[in-house]
Structure 1
Amino acid sequence: MRLLPRLASATVALAFVLILPYEAVSHARVPASDTPSGQLFGAACRVRVDDSDVTAYCHNPYPETDHVRLHVECARWWDLDSDSSAVPAGPAQTVRLDGRCWKEVRAAWVSHQRVR
């Protein structure tokens, strides 16, 4: 008889996930305001953190060059955060970005910039 309450709570949880608006879900895409209508832009990036080392691979499947930068935020107050210089990811090109902290990494992300 305990199966029914568990099934009911699982059903309610699934309903909340399915009803959640699309805008509420986080997406790792370049904002549409930076792109002219109908043009796709932005390299797809994978960021990997291993202890204090950060590596990002960015692949640009689009015909426009995307300048990508790796940003690393360190967990310790005395550890310096870092931003890499812009690296051009040309059409059908994959680039590697590296960064590190002395101790733990709090956050790491990649920013994109269209070449004008």
Structure 2
Amino acid sequence: MTSKLETYSDQDAAKKGLKGKGYVGPGRVTASGQALNQAYNGGRTVGPMSSTASSGRSSHASAGKAGTNASVTVFYYPKEPSSSFHLVALGVHASADLYKIGKELGQDQAPFQKKKTVGPEGR
């Protein structure tokens, strides 16, 4: 079962939280801001999530160049009806359609397992 790792009330709180806790280093701040912009403006819906997700589906948003540590991908599900969201994993683009989940913000098991390379649905 996928669990939320962090919940942010709004986009500014998400930016501050990811940067302030050291999840996003200096070389990834711009990409994380762009990924959060996409998330808050409607990311892409991907695979099935935990039954605790209101829509039953996760979304992801990415920014930065694939294959570099300067990219950021956030996997989340929206918290309805507000503009907040639940973060379920943070990673980087490994290629155009694969993502390397980080060691700090990932799930202990699949989908979106820490340090694993996964597709958009976490598999």
Same fold (TM over 0.5): no
Rg larger in structure: 1
Scaled by the length of structure 1, the TM-score of the pair is: 0.28
